[in-house]
């Protein structure tokens, strides 16, 4: 990247990390305080609300993804504000109609009061979240990551304050946490609308012109949206299987383990967010160069994550004794970070830059089919949650390996040896977690990681020197 673009890249990255630093604190509080304070059942229903809310993005039908792909790399002042703004308001109207449909479904079908409340609040969150995503994607696509990062910080800080207040006043019902979560999201939306007021409040275009442009964006973004949906279903289908086969408490305990895993992936997702518009403005030779650097760097850094299991399990085991089984699931999920981290930062980002959305969709579709089959086997045949968790990691690893093999072929890089090493070290940790004690597993894995680094020391050294050279310039 040219020096000016590189400087802006790291500045945007700093803002993104600041936002995720706050998100990290909130995640720590949610993981450490909310389960302890709410109890298993109430916390499980709050996790169900969060789980449903992760899927509300499918209801813009790829429109936002299409705008993101088509405007990625452009400058903000180059945008047609009237066209972007008109689509925003048409999208809001569509989301309101869909939300009313969800509310009607919740009212007309048999549910207990807690599940019905979760459906109602998810419907409200659908409108707010997709509005935030629309504006946020415009900022991200035009390299104004700072504005989107601030909106994230606003939401997290508000909810952080609300959690503290609810704990002080000893409010132990998940409904109160859910409502205040929506209030925090709304505060973020107000900031987004104000910051994007140039297009949000631009004069609306004629309906035919707006709908025609929306149709184009949906046709471009539908593959990416379906890819994202399939990507979420890889883990989501397993959690759905657990909820259907067991009870809400079992769902809450596996959700806590998944949340702990996502804790490690927060920063990676932010690097990916900043990386996409920066790479869209970069020449093809530089794209290949940065791919090698990042691929080698992630290959060295991501296998470190399972080493955190011993201190985390010791501390959380003392603090959350009712969630002991969640920590057992975590040991089987942490190796997932090695593969999901690469998929988020490397494969998805590069395939989007190369406009290979259909490839992403195909790979995610294969992976979600595998996940559904394995989840069904785990729930109906083996009838064991640990088996389902192992299958979750297997499906994620399958997706990453297939994507990386395809991408490395495009980049003329042989990734097979690296992939074999990563698969072996991830599999070793799972086997150790099942067959040995925590301390023994930690020590053996630490020794294995040292051997792993020694074997790939040339790649590690090359990556370090390349990154040092980039910073120097």
Task: Compute the residue count for the chain.
Answer: 473
pLDDT at residue 99 in the model:
96
- Phi and psi at residue 247, in whole multiples of 5°? -135, 180
3-state secondary structure of 170: coil
Q: Which of 119-128, 295-304, 431-440 has the lowest mean pLDDT?
A: 295-304
What's the rounded mean pLDDT across residues 200-222?
Answer: 91
pLDDT at residue 174 in the model:
92
Burial class (CB in 10 A: 0-12, 13-18, 19+), 279: buried
What's the rounded mean pLDDT across residues 354-375?
Answer: 88
Q: Is the pTM of this model over 0.85?
A: no
Burial class (CB in 10 A: 0-12, 13-18, 19+), 266: middle
Of 349, 281, 221, nearest in space to 78 by CA: 281
pLDDT confidence bin for 388, thresholds 50/70/90: very high
pLDDT at residue 467 in the model:
46
Exposed e or buried b for every residue in 30-51, given b needs 16+ CB within 10 A? Answer: bbeebbebbebebbbbbbbbbb
Question: pLDDT > 70: what percent of the chain?
Answer: 86
Domain ranges, ordered by start, for the chain: 1-205, 220-473
Dig out the tokens for 383 from the structure: 């009838």
Of 297, 268, 345, nearest in space to 456 by CA: 297
Q: What is the pLDDT of residues 132-171, one digit of tens each?
A: 999 998 988 887 777 887 888 888 889 888 988 998 888 8
Give yes or no for residue 470 having a pLDDT over 50: no
| H helix runs in 281-384, sequence order | 284-301, 309-319, 324-333, 336-342, 349-353, 357-376
Burial class (CB in 10 A: 0-12, 13-18, 19+), 451: exposed
Residues 6+ apart with CB under 8 A from 74: 141, 142
Of 274, 268, 272, 261, nearest in space to 348 by CA: 272
Give yes or no for residue 259 having a pLDDT over 60: yes
Number of helices and strands in the chain (H, E): 21, 0
| H helix runs in 201-247, sequence order | 207-245
Contact 407, 350 (CB under 8 A): yes
Contact 125, 182 (CB under 8 A): yes
Contact 261, 333 (CB under 8 A): yes
Question: pLDDT > 90: what percent of the chain?
Answer: 35
3-state secondary structure of 324: helix
pLDDT confidence bin for 279, thresholds 50/70/90: low
Sign of CA dihedral 55, 56, 57, 60: positive
Mean pLDDT across the chain: 84
Cα 324 to Cα 32, 259, 440: the distances in Å are 13, 15, 19
Give yes or no for residue 15 having a pLDDT over 70: no
Better pLDDT: 459 or 199: 199
Better pLDDT: 275 or 375: 375
How many other CB atoms are there within 10 angstroms of residue 315's CB atom? 12
The Cα diameter of the chain in Å comes to 68
Give yes or no for residue 224 having a pLDDT over 60: yes
- What whole-number distance in Å separates Cα of residue 136 and Cα of residue 152? 9
Of 1, 118, 109, 112, nearest in space to 56 by CA: 118
Dig out the tokens for 194 from the structure: 């104000």
Better pLDDT: 116 or 343: 116
Most confident by average pLDDT, 64-68, 118-122, 164-168, 361-365 = 118-122
Residue with token string 């981290």: 341
pLDDT at residue 180 in the model:
94
Cα 18 to Cα 23, 211, 238, 405: the distances in Å are 9, 37, 32, 33
Contact 32, 260 (CB under 8 A): no
Give yes or no for residue 269 having a pLDDT over 80: no
Give yes or no for residue 8 having a pLDDT over 60: no
pLDDT at residue 402 in the model:
92
Q: What is the pLDDT of residues 430-452, one digit of tens each?
A: 999 998 888 999 999 999 999 98
């Amino acid at each position: 990247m040219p020096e000016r673009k590189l400087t802006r890249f790291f500045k945007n990255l700093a803002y993104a990390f600041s936002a995720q630093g706050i998100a990290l604190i909130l995640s720590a509080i949610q993981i450490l305080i909310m389960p302890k304070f709410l109890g298993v059942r109430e916390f499980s229903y709050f996790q169900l609300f969060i789980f449903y809310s992760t899927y509300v993005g499918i209801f813009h039908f790829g429109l936002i993804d299409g705008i993101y792909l088509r405007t990625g790399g452009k400058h903000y002042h180059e945008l047609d504000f009237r066209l972007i703004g008109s689509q925003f308001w048409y999208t809001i109207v569509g989301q309101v109609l869909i939300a009313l449909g969800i509310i009607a479904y919740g009212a007309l079908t048999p549910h207990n009061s807690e599940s019905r409340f979760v459906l109602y609040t998810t419907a409200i969150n659908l409108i707010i979240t997709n509005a935030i995503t629309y504006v946020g994607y415009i900022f991200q696509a035009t390299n104004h990551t700072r504005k989107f990062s601030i909106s994230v910080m606003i939401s997290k800080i508000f909810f952080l304050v609300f959690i503290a207040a609810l704990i002080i006043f000893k409010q132990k019902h998940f409904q109160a946490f859910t409502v205040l979560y929506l209030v925090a999201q709304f505060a973020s939306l107000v900031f987004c609308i104000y910051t994007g007021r140039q297009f949000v409040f631009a004069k609306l275009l004629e309906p035919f012109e707006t709908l025609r442009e929306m149709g184009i964006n949906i046709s471009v973004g539908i593959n990416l949206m379906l890819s994202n949906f399939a990507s979420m279903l890889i883990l989501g289908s397993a959690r759905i299987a657990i909820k259907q086969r067991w009870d809400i408490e079992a769902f809450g305990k596996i959700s806590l383990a998944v949340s702990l895993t996502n804790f490690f992936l927060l920063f990676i997702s932010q690097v990916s967010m900043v990386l996409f518009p920066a790479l869209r403005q970069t020449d093809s030779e530089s794209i290949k160069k940065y791919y090698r650097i990042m691929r080698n760097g992630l290959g060295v850094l991501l296998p470190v994550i399972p080493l955190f299991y011993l201190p985390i399990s010791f501390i959380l085991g003392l603090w959350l004794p009712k969630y002991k089984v969640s920590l057992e699931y975590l040991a089987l999920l942490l190796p997932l970070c090695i593969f999901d981290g690469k998929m988020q930062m490397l494969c998805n980002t590069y395939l989007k830059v190369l406009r290979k959305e259909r490839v992403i969709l195909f790979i995610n579709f294969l992976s979600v089919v595998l996940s559904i089959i394995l989840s069904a086997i785990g729930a109906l045949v083996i009838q064991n949650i640990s088996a389902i968790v192992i299958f979750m990691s297997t499906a994620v690893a399958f997706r990453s390996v297939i994507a990386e093999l395809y991408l490395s072929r495009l980049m003329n890089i042989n990734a097979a040896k690296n992939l074999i090493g990563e698969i072996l070290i991830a599999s070793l940790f799972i086997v150790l977690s099942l067959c040995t004690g925590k301390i023994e597993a930690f020590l053996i894995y630490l020794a294995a990681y040292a051997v792993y680094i020694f074997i790939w020391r040339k790649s590690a050294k090359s990556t370090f020197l390349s990154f040092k050279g980039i910073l120097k310039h």
